[in-house]
Chains A and B, each alone.
Chain A
Amino acid sequence: MLDSFLKFLARSLQRKAAPEKIRSYLQARGYPSLPGHVPSLPGHVRVAAVQEQLRVLKTWQAYVERMYAFTARAAGAGAQLVCFPEENGLLLLGQLPLVGPLLRLATRSMGNPPPPVPAEELEPVRLSSSAWDLPDGSLVARLLAPFSPFFQETFTTVFGELARGFGVTIMAGSCMQVADGKLVNRAYLFGPDGTLLGVQDKVHPVDMEMAMGMTPAERLQAVPTAVGRLGFPVCMDATYFETFKILRALGAQIVVIPIANLEPFQHYWALRGIWPRVQENGVYGIKSALVGRLGGLEFTGKAGVFAPLELTPDRSGVLAEAQTFDRDELVVADLDLDRLEAYRSDYFDDSNPALYRKYFPDIYR
């Protein structure tokens, strides 16, 4: 009964927000000329990180207008790359008539995350994949599965059109969905001609996501774009040096991390992600953030653009950062890819493949 009802709702949303309707809407709205656009210098890229306050968007038109507004503002500031936050696609569910009770039902259904490792097992630490061997058919996956085709279709239409209309590369953020029978947190990247350049599923789900039955991706990619080679893993992925080292080795110059941090803002908690990864690996980093309160959940930022210390004027590693942690903001900065290519660090650069090959095959079991 529940599944049938959800499928009915999903089909209703798909009919209302059919791709041709979205395209017509945006074409009628038009894309203004951009007097503030700064011609790009060779090797220079202007980027924008969106800090987006949570709102219940009750119609697809409201969703489109909100994404249009951020993109227009970024493009008007001369940005060639615009980055949206984690779970940006889930905001499409604001159209549901029962979104409040459904959200409460979904968050209650999460139950308990996998138990923390008991003290005696912290010493020594043991890796286990068992946290991911969770029962199929968690309620969250059941709730999202019928809507997933709607998410995929609407998300790709909206952001493909916005990318093409404004002539910018867009990392649209991510959307939790069921794809190929698996619950994933999937980020989307669009080129300035509207083409979907790639998707990246989260590779390090947090314990809450694992409790929902999320499947972590097993590959990362660095995608060539008009603004350089981009990696775009998701949120918690930035906690692990492995993520950025792999992406750097794959040629990434810019790594975009969309976040939806479910915790009160605390400077040092927020520092446990992209900033140290940028220092370790000599890449540019962009963090886009979903912020605000919804259904008892609190998300905090801050969005920002980061670089190796020596490539920032004050050697802070921060090119630009949001002033608040809970409000709409757009963070814009210029990246010099030529300077990044020439960058060398006497502290972070050395490599010891013999060491890594000696240990990694065994410790990553």
Chain B
Amino acid sequence: MKTLIAAIAGPDLAAAPRADLLVFPGAEAASVRARDGAALLERAAATARRCNAYVVPGLYVKDGGLCLGLVAPDGTLVLEQRATHLNRAWAGDLRRADTIVLADTPFGRLALVPDVDVYKGEVLRIAALQGAEVAVCVQVLPPQDYSEAMVLAGAWQQAQQNCLYIVSVSDQHACLLGPCDTASDHSGFLTHPGDPLPQRAELSAEKRLAAYKTFPVFQSLNPRLYRNHLDELCG
């Protein structure tokens, strides 16, 4: 992994901060459903070329799936991930994917995590064990369901149990996360959910390595245990 600058844009995309990876702010479910996915990706491509950055423009529905896309600085769509888990907002008409794909970028291997996939340990573990170092999680989280606890129970704890940097965005919050010791206060919050947009932080490769040395989470994985309980893990 190489150090990168990640940012979450505010409502004014023209004023987006300089970054290697730029994520659009979140949107509510109705807006996501109403979106023209192709138009969204076109807007992302224009932003990517203008800002010379990788861009994740947010959730969209395409071909019966809830999707996130990654657009490269040249405007090409280099990664598209369909949600592998769905909640009631989507499950009635959309279908789950059964594949997790990663993108190799100049700063490292990146995973896209649509919506409630962020709450599934299986998803981020599969991504991490395939080499993911950075993840972008975009979800819909109605105000009555939002709390900081939902961020802790989702993107924050995934960053800890998989040693990942995570850009976490919803219609209620935005923050940049990493393993606890990548933050100066050991919280894992590089920016906080209450911080105004735009947000920007350095995702340091050296700090991630140092954090791993103090909390080498993959060293204690127990493949024999997991193989012995494959039925339980796959259920």
Contacts and interface: CB of A to CB of B under 8 A. Distances in A.
A206 to B, nearest CB: 6
Of listed B98, B120, B180, B208, residue having the most chain A CB within 10 A: B120
Interface string B201-216: 0000000110011011
A210 B152 CA distance: 29
A355 B130 CA distance: 14
Contacts of A123: 1, 108-109, 131, 133
Nearest to A264: B186
A276 B152 CA distance: 8
A346 B88 contact: yes
B220 interface: yes
A129 B121 contact: no
Given A272-B161, A279-B153, A347-B150, A359 B84 contact: no
Interface in B132-154: 133, 145, 147, 149-150, 152-154
Contacts of A276: 152-153, 157, 160-161
A298 interface: no
Contact of B223 (A129, A220, A236, A269): A129
Nearest to A114: B219
Chain B interface residue bracket vs A:
35 or more
Given A117-B218, A268-B180, A272-B180, A356 B234 contact: yes
Given A117-B219, A280-B153, A347-B150, A125 B234 contact: no
A301 interface: no
A360 interface: yes
Interface in B88-113: 88-89, 91, 96-100, 108-109
B71 to A, nearest CB: 23
B122 to A, nearest CB: 6
Nearest to A353: B234
B40 interface: no
Given A122-B1, A240-B161, A269 B229 contact: no
A124 interface: yes
A12 B108 CA distance: 60
B100 A355 contact: yes
Interface string A344-365: 0011101111111111110111
B126 interface: yes
A363 B129 CA distance: 7
Contacts of A207: 216, 219-220
Nearest to A276: B157
Given A241-B161, A246-B229, A350 B220 contact: no
A250 B123 CA distance: 21
Contacts of B216: 116-117, 207
A250 B233 CA distance: 10
A309 B152 CA distance: 11
Interface string A126-137: 010101000000
Given A207-B219, A269-B186, A346-B89, 19 more contacts: A114-B219, A116-B216, A123-B108, A124-B131, A210-B220, A239-B161, A242-B222, A249-B232, A249-B233, A268-B187, A275-B153, A279-B153, A309-B149, A350-B91, A353-B234, A354-B96, A355-B99, A355-B122, A360-B122
Interface of A: 114, 116-117, 119, 122-125, 127, 129, 131, 203-207, 210, 216-220, 236, 239-242, 245-246, 249-250, 266-269, 271-272, 275-276, 279-280, 309, 315-317, 346-348, 350-361, 363-365
